[in-house]
Structure 1
Amino acid sequence: MKHFPVFLAVEGRRIVVSGGGEAALAKLRLLLKTEARITVVAATPIGEVTALAAERRLTLIKRAMEPGDAICASLFYAANDDDAEDARVTALAQADGALTNWVDNLGQSQFITPAIVDRDPVTVAIGTEGAAPVLARSIKADLEARLPRALGTLARAGKAFRGAVEALPIGRKRRAFWSEYYDSVGPETFDKAGEAGLRKSLEDLLAKHIFAKTQAGHVTFVGAGPGDPELLTIKARRALHEADVVIHDRLVTPEVLELARREALIIDAGKEGFGPSMKQT
């Protein structure tokens, strides 16, 4: 991985775009979905950019970029469709301390913008490190079709209820609550009663989980097969995803172990001739 995927907090922070043509407008359509303060620097912006400024959705500076224009900017986009000008403004922005993206120039960019599926506050980012943007768009289209439009509404209701869920202990019980909400109770309630019914369904579900008896721990044996994670059964993948502890031998591949939860305890119990091994008692 040459690019580490992160979600950057931009609420109330500056994002500067140099350029006022179609390339800049394409970036602005995405950036304007955020709560950042957008500034566009362009000597001759097209009508759509000027209209956005008139609607006070962004700040427009009608001139070529100068030193200091990107001071305090969290991100900077060079989108002039002119290599010489994009090189000049990128150097200025980096001197101002901003992370820079040169549109359609991966080698000169300090960060890249992935394809995005927006179900605010649920956001799915798809990146191919510039190797296959058409593939990224194909995956995005597939996810757009699969993810329900109500997902964002369910997530917002869940976020507002997070404080109440602290009544459940961290770990398995809390995960079980959220799994049941997002997998069944939430979607079913939304279909029947809409957003107005979600709060009551969350309260009822929380009461159910608070008074439910704690289930005893159990062990699930999973065969890893020849090592290809795509050959695992659905039940095996689910077991790995839900496990608190995963104990494996040396024949299990890293690709299979990637399916475990990040928070799970991974224990290597494998043995190798004349090598390190775990004692058996």
Structure 2
Amino acid sequence: MQYFPLFVDTAKLKVLLIGAGEVASRKLDLLARTEACISVVALDVSSEVQAYADKNRISLALRTVADEDIADVDLIYLATADNELNTRLAHLATERGIWVNVVDRPDLCRFITPSIVDRGRLQIAISTAGAAPVFARELRSRLESWLPHSLTDLFDFVAARRKEVQDRLPAFKERKLFWEHFFRANGDHFDDRTEQYYEESFQNLVSVGEILLIDDKTSIAMLPIAAMPLMQKLDHIFANEVLPLTLNELVRRDATRAPLLSMDELTQLLNAGKRSLVYADTDKIAQLKAQFPQAKHLKSGSL
């Protein structure tokens, strides 16, 4: 993984944008949505960038950039048409420990800006590490069509009620069940029924246990899409061998990992409403299927 994805708190973040043409304006369209303090230095300015200055969203200096500008900032975007200037300033910023992005020069970038799907509190960042930005934009367009815009209002609703849920349900287990029921009932929309689903979820705090089975001959990459939400709800993962990396990436990161338990211990977890995944050889999975007929055996292409 060359680029590690981070979500940065932009409050009090100081950003310097050098250049104010068409390319710079596209960067500014995203940056202006944040809470960052943005300064722009350029000889010529596009009408789009000037509009942000007129609204006092940015600080604009119409002059040649100076080395002294590369100081006391957190991030720098270099978007001039002068490749030599971009290169020199990028090296200067790196020497001073400032993260820099040079448009169309990934070799000079300390960070890159991903393709972004913006639904208010819900943010999805997509990157191909600079290899295929066209595909990243295509994937973004698919997600844009799939994710309703009312998600912005939905997560504002959820954020406004988190404290109430914590007060009414002090136990983490209860809160987890509450939110699982709420999102299962409400789905991914915000409408007139959302408040009703919210109140009803306080009355449905019963956890139903579940066991998922995967044998070590199954190709994880070929598991059905319907299996993915199940693996994100797991409490425990049991295996006597190292999980394949592809499987480890699909399950909840905070689910406990442990060696395989006995049949009685698995039964106790099931009765306690816990959700478990067992990864083992085909003989062991066959035994577990006989012991737990209600268990879901995840196989390539089916549940």
Is TM (by shorter chain) over 0.5?
yes
**Please, which moves more after superposition, 153-162 or 48-57?**
48-57
**Cα deviation code 1:237-274 (max 9, x no counterpart):** 333211111002438522112211011112244899xx
Counterpart in 2 of 1:277?
A: none
Distance change >3 Å, CA 147–CA 81, structure 1 → 2: same
Identity rate of aligned residues, in percent?
A: 31
State how far apart, in whole Å, the 2-side matches of 1:2 and 1:79 are: 23
Distance change >3 Å, CA 149–CA 22, structure 1 → 2: same
State how far apart, in whole Å, the 2-side matches of 1:95 and 1:267 are: 46
Counterpart in 1 of 2:7?
A: 7
Counterpart in 1 of 2:182?
A: 181
Equivalent position SS for 1:163:
helix
**How do 1:206-225 residues align onto structure 2 when only pairs under 5 Å count?**
207-209=202-204, 212=205, 214-215=206-207, 218-224=209-215
* Larger RCO (CA within 8 A; separation ≥ 6): 2
State how far apart, in whole Å, the 1-side matches of 2:137 and 2:259 are: 38
State how far apart, in whole Å, the 1-side matches of 2:158 and 2:117 are: 19
State how far apart, in whole Å, the 2-side matches of 1:133 and 1:66 are: 31
Structure 1 residue 165: Cα displacement: 1.6
Partner amino acid, structure 1, of 2:155: A
Distance change >3 Å, CA 186–CA 256, structure 1 → 2: closer
User: Residues 78 and 103 of structure 2 are in contact (CA less than 8 Å); yes or no, is this contact kept in structure 1?
Assistant: yes
- State yes or no: 1:85 paired with 2:85: yes
**Cα deviation code 1:106-153 (max 9, x no counterpart):** 111000100000001110000111111111111101100100110111
Give the TM-score of the pair, scaled to structure 2: 0.77
Equivalent position SS for 2:143:
helix
Structure 1 residue 16: Cα displacement: 0.7
**Please, which moves more after superposition, 174-183 or 32-41?**
174-183
Structure 1 residue 89: Cα displacement: 2.4
Structure 1 residue 46: Cα displacement: 2.1
Partner amino acid, structure 2, of 1:245: H
**How do 1:41-120 residues align onto structure 2 when only pairs under 5 Å count?**
41-120=41-120
Counterpart in 2 of 1:230?
A: 221
Counterpart in 1 of 2:16?
A: 16
User: Residues 71 and 97 of structure 1 are in contact (CA less than 8 Å); yes or no, is this contact kept in structure 2?
Assistant: no
Distance change >3 Å, CA 268–CA 62, structure 1 → 2: farther
State how far apart, in whole Å, the 1-side matches of 2:149 and 2:91 are: 41
- State yes or no: 1:161 paired with 2:154: no
State how far apart, in whole Å, the 2-side matches of 1:125 and 1:235 are: 23
Q: What is the number of residues matched between the two proteins?
A: 262
**Cα deviation code 1:141-183 (max 9, x no counterpart):** 1100100110111001101111112132554432222233233
- State yes or no: 1:241 paired with 2:236: no
Give the TM-score of the pair, scaled to structure 1: 0.83
State how far apart, in whole Å, the 1-side matches of 2:123 and 2:250 are: 21
Equivalent position SS for 2:75:
strand
**Cα deviation code 1:212-242 (max 9, x no counterpart):** 4x547x3504124634323224554333211
State how far apart, in whole Å, the 2-side matches of 1:215 and 1:177 are: 10
Equivalent position SS for 2:67:
coil
Partner amino acid, structure 1, of 2:71: I
State how far apart, in whole Å, the 2-side matches of 1:145 and 1:58 are: 31
Q: Which consecutive residues of structure 2, in runs of 5 or more, have no partner in the other structure?
A: 261-278, 282-303
User: Residues 69 and 93 of structure 1 are in contact (CA less than 8 Å); yes or no, is this contact kept in structure 2?
Assistant: no
User: Residues 227 and 256 of structure 1 are in contact (CA less than 8 Å); yes or no, is this contact kept in structure 2?
Assistant: no
